[in-house]
Amino acid sequence: MSDGMETEQGPEAAAIVLRGVHKWYGQFHVLKNIDLTVQNGERIVICGPSGSGKSTLIRCINRLEEHQQGEILVEGIKLTDDLKRIDEIRSEVGMVFQQFNLFPHKTILENCALAPIRVRKMPRKDAEELAMQYLERVKIPEQADKYPAQLSGGQQQRVAIARALCMNPRIMLFDEPTSALDPEMIKEVLDVMIELAEEGMTMIVVTHEMGFARTVADRIIFMDGGEIIEDAPPQKFFEAPESERTKEFLAQIL
């Protein structure tokens, strides 16, 4: 690929651009010719059956997975093998996982303050203050000194969101953030995400929560078999989808 220093600047620069992205796991073609542009402040929901490549897609955006063809630009920076650049992009892109992935050997506060201290080189005291600020925003400041295992799933996921926000990211990726939660806890996590969306955060959310998609998303993307099948604003997506496959999917889940 190129030298990795390529940038696309200007006020109109999109948050994320994918052009002709392909990815294979061995022989298996997971992502097929993905073209996607996400503007700053846009909220995208990606849905689709399991195995459709939606998680892989967002994991390519912060290079947890490598794509083999095409190009991905994040904030105008092209993703290449340059490790420095990748770490730089990762510190601008927050990610929330299905399994929370909190660090069990660190307290809630330490979980949140870790990256600001180690990556941003922020003094410990400032980082902890920042962490408390975000813990208050997700409404669990009183849990700061506990360990992740002492929290409920919903609380853990809210900590995970706070932890990602502590890096002050410009883009947030959510990989099925409510799929591992008990039904009673889904709402508390979605509420935090809605609040975040209202503040204008650029978000890409892989989820099956169609209620969330309807109220929050600017665009909904439907994937199947590694391809983007449908890309439409919520109203059109739910009421007049173009593809038969999308209609089928919606009939299954609604």
Partner 1 sequence: MSEMYRAGEHPDLPPPVETSGVRRWLRANLFSSVLSSLTTLVLAGFILWILKSALIWGMLEADFFGASFRDCASAGACWAVASARFPQYWFGFFYPSAQYWRPLLAFALLSVAVAPWLSESIKYRRELKIFSLFYPLIALLLLYGGAGLAIVETDRWGGFLLTLVIGVVGIVASLPIGILLALGRRSEMPVVRTLCVVFIEIVRGVPLITVLFTASVLLPLFLPDGMSFNKLLRVLIMVSLFASAYMAEIVRGGLAAIPPGQEEAARAMGLGYWQTMGLIVLPQALRIVIPGIVSSFIGLFKDTSLVAIVGLYDLLGLTQAILKETGWMGVKIEAYVFIGAIFWICCFSMSRYAKHLEEKLKRGHV
Q: Site residues (CB under 8 A) for partner 1?
A: 62, 64, 83, 87-88, 90-91, 93-95, 97, 99, 101-105, 114-115, 118-119, 147-150, 160, 163-164, 167
Residue 167 vs 196, nearer CB to partner 1 = 167
- Phi and psi angles of residue 13, each rounded to the nearest 5 degrees, phi first: -55, 130
**What minimum distance in Å lies between the beta carbon of 147 and partner 1?**
4
C-alpha 233/C-alpha 237 separation (Å) is 6
Structure tokens at 1: 């690929």
Half-sphere exposure of 226 (CA within 13 A, CB side): 13
**What minimum distance in Å lies between the beta carbon of 244 and partner 1?**
36
Q: Which residues of 177-213 are buried (b: 16+ CB within 10 A; e: fewer)?
A: bbeebeeebbbbbbebbeebbeeebbbbbbbebbebb
Residue 207 vs 246, nearer CB to partner 1 = 207
**What minimum distance in Å lies between the beta carbon of 238 and partner 1?**
31
Q: Where are the beta strands (DSSP E) in the chain?
A: 16-25, 28-38, 43-47, 69-74, 77-78, 93-96, 171-175, 202-206, 219-224, 227-232
**What minimum distance in Å lies between the beta carbon of 108 and partner 1?**
11
Would you put residue 180 in left (φ > 0), alpha (ψ -120 to 50) or beta?
alpha
Residue 105 vs 247, nearer CB to partner 1 = 105
The DSSP-derived string for 30-42 is EEEEEEEEE-TT-
Residue 104 vs 183, nearer CB to partner 1 = 104
Residue 75 vs 230, nearer CB to partner 1 = 75
**What minimum distance in Å lies between the beta carbon of 102 and partner 1?**
8
Residue 175 vs 230, nearer CB to partner 1 = 175
**What minimum distance in Å lies between the beta carbon of 249 and partner 1?**
27
